């Protein structure tokens, strides 16, 4: 669940070397801000608040049953001006974000551009954008003054509303001597496809009661120190929940461009252990892991558009890849929540994530992706030798195992997947499959040789896993939700 309210709290922040400095941490759905306090004489009228710069911003607004989005708009393509926020209604949704202002031009709604829309089309898009509306906006100071004056004369009548308490971008605390306190943004990290980590970068060492958030644009919060483990745990949960929520939203937007059999099941940051320079320990590099259609993809940076999905650094077929969660006793160092990805012809990849919940999320998505990939594949045949004859072993989603002689195409034997009771191999080319006869209940062993043993084993494991998952009621319900 994404936490939509704005959360703030005092923390200490450092670069990992110098002494930590006090700052305020402010979390909204899509942004994490580090702010410092600045004292100055009262010189502004805070009834006319504007943002500190004119960069594009993403703001999430939760529609209210009464009042809608709590804002009015002017402009549109027919007027040759942007769609501008002309009024924000007190105590309604837009005001409660504390991040929208009169004079903001709405560039996108839920990731879709509206810059070429007419006024009426923009109104309809906003009205039908759902309960959680992500606006991409940019402030125009020249328009703000005119629109604020017009708002005071009650000239707005476009009627789009949204709830939010009308609070300042920089909250003033005026003292009796005329000095006000402002919170000024020092670092702003977008949470879309960002990641949070407690580890010292590139290592397996946890920071005590501290964490770091790294954004897609390369911006880092620095090291955020908390007073105790309870406060640390709260911040990690809130930030992670928002990142997961935004990532899920981005997945939905991407999947609009892909067919149902090529949809994304998972995407998120992992850390890969890498041995280098023959050192006895491994360093860790962040990788962006995705499960899309029949493929497992690893990126150095997240894909930002449809074309980026064609540029995966590493691409494997999920049905030719083994996913295995490691027990704590198998971990090679102090990193927790580790797993292996093994693919025929490639070295195993040792990966870790920050939390148990994220590991379970990957495992569940892997099973979903695997089942879809195997059903789409249908069957796969491997060249084998049986009793000295060249043959083909077919794994078929509906039929199970079948062995055909290549020369005569004669069926030699076949078994259902449920009849396989075990297997053994020599790690090179020889494989034994142990099937139970459905009539006699006797175990029958079939001996095969193949030059692609590991590939066959991984694919066989994929078919068996998908078959079990497909008849699991809990799995089936998760696929339909």
Q: Tens digit of pLDDT for each residue in 202-220? A: 899 999 999 999 998 778 9
What the block records as the tokens of 128 is 């039908």
Mean pLDDT computed over 361-383: 93
The whole-number pLDDT of residue 81 equals 87
The whole-number pLDDT of residue 154 equals 40
The whole-number pLDDT of residue 174 equals 41
Contact indicator for 36, 23 with CB cutoff of 8 Å:
yes
- CA dist 187 and 13 (Å) reads 11
Tell me which DSSP letter residue 332 carries.
S
HSE-up (13 A, CA, CB side) for residue 463 = 22
Lowest model confidence (mean pLDDT) among 20-24, 34-38, 357-361, 393-397: 34-38
What the block records as the tokens of 342 is 């093994």
In 3D space, the residue among 147, 144, 168 whose CA is nearest the CA of residue 158 turns out to be: 147
pLDDT tens string 302-347: 988 878 887 777 889 999 999 999 999 998 899 999 999 998 888 8
Mean pLDDT computed over 35-39: 82
Mean pLDDT computed over 220-227: 93
pLDDT tens string 122-134: 999 998 888 889 9
Contact indicator for 458, 450 with CB cutoff of 8 Å:
no
The whole-number pLDDT of residue 173 equals 40
The whole-number pLDDT of residue 275 equals 74
What the block records as the tokens of 141 is 């100071």
- CA dist 18 and 193 (Å) reads 28
Q: Which domains does the chain have, with CATH numbers?
A: 56-162 (2.30.42.10), 257-377 (2.30.29.30), 379-451 (2.30.29.30)
If you average pLDDT over every residue of the chain, what do you get? 84
The whole-number pLDDT of residue 307 equals 82
pLDDT tens string 86-105: 888 888 888 888 888 888 99
Question: Looking at per-residue confidence, does 211 or 39 come out higher?
Answer: 211
In 3D space, the residue among 336, 307, 351, 26 whose CA is nearest the CA of residue 191 turns out to be: 26
What the block records as the tokens of 218 is 């390369």
- Please say whether the dihedral angle defined by the alpha carbons of residues 206, 209, 215 and 220, taken in this order, is positive or negative: negative
Q: Check pLDDT > 80 for residue 18.
A: yes
Lowest model confidence (mean pLDDT) among 59-68, 399-408, 427-436, 447-456: 59-68
What's the CA dihedral at 204, 366, 3, 196 to 10 degrees?
A: 20
What the block records as the tokens of 81 is 């001006």
Mean pLDDT computed over 225-240: 93
pLDDT tens string 235-275: 999 999 999 999 999 999 899 989 888 899 999 999 999 87
Q: What are phi and psi of 54, to 5 degrees?
A: -110, 25
- CA dist 146 and 144 (Å) reads 6
Q: How many CB atoms lie within 10 A of CB 451?
A: 12
The whole-number pLDDT of residue 98 equals 83
pLDDT tens string 153-183: 443 333 333 322 222 233 334 444 445 567 8
């Amino acid at each position: 669940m994404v936490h939509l309210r704005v959360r703030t709290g005092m923390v200490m922040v450092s670069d990992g070397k110098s002494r930590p400095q006090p700052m305020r941490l402010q979390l909204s759905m899509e942004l994490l801000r580090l702010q410092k306090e600045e004292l100055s004489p009262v010189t502004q009228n805070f009834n006319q608040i504007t943002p500190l710069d004119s960069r594009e911003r993403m703001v999430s607004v939760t529609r209210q049953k009464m009042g809608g989005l709590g804002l009015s708009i002017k402009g549109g393509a027919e007027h040759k001006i942007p769609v501008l926020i002309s009024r924000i209604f007190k105590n309604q949704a837009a005001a409660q974000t504390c991040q929208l202002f009169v004079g903001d031009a709405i560039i996108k709604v839920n990731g879709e551009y509206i810059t070429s829309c007419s006024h009426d089309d923009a109104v309809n898009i906003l009205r039908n954008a759902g309960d959680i509306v992500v606006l991409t906006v940019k402030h125009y100071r020249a328009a703000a003054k005119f629109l604020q004056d017009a708002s005071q004369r009650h000239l707005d009548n476009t009627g789009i509303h949204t709830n939010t308490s009308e609070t300042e971008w920089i909250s003033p605390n005026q003292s009796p001597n005329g000095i006000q306190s402002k919170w000024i943004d020092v670092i702003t990290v977008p949470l879309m496809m960002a990641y949070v980590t407690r580890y010292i970068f590139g290592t397996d060492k946890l920071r005590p009661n501290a964490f770091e958030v790294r954004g897609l644009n390369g911006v880092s919060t620095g090291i955020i120190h908390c007073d105790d483990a309870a406060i640390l745990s709260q911040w990690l949960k809130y930030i992670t929940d928002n990142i997961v929520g935004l990532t899920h939203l981005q997945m939905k937007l991407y999947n609009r461009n892909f067919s149902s059999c090529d949809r994304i099941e998972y995407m998120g940051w992992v850390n890969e252990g890498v041995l280098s320079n023959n050192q006895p320990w491994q360093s860790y590099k962040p990788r962006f892991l995705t499960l899309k259609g029949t493929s497992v993809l690893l990126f150095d940076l997240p894909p930002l558009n449809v074309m980026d999905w064609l540029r995966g650094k590493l691409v494997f077929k999920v049905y030719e890849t083994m996913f295995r969660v490691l027990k704590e006793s198998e971990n090679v160092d102090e990193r927790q929540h580790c797993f292996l990805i093994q693919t025929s012809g490639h070295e195993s990849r040792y990966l870790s994530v920050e939390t148990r919940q994220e590991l379970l999320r990957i495992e569940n998505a892997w099973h979903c992706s695997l089942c879809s990939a195997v059903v789409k594949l249908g069957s796969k045949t491997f060249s084998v030798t049986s009793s000295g004859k060249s043959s083909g072993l077919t794994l078929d989603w509906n039929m199970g195992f079948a062995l055909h002689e290549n020369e005569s195409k004669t069926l030699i034997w076949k078994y259902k997947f449920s009849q396989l009771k075990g297997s053994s191999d020599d790690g090179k080319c020889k494989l034994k499959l142990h099937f139970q006869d459905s009539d006699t209940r006797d175990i029958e062993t079939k001996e095969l040789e193949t030059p692609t043993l590991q590939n066959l084993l991984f694919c066989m494991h994929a078919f068996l896993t998908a078959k079990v998952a497909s008849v699991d009621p809990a799995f089936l319900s998760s696929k339909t939700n």
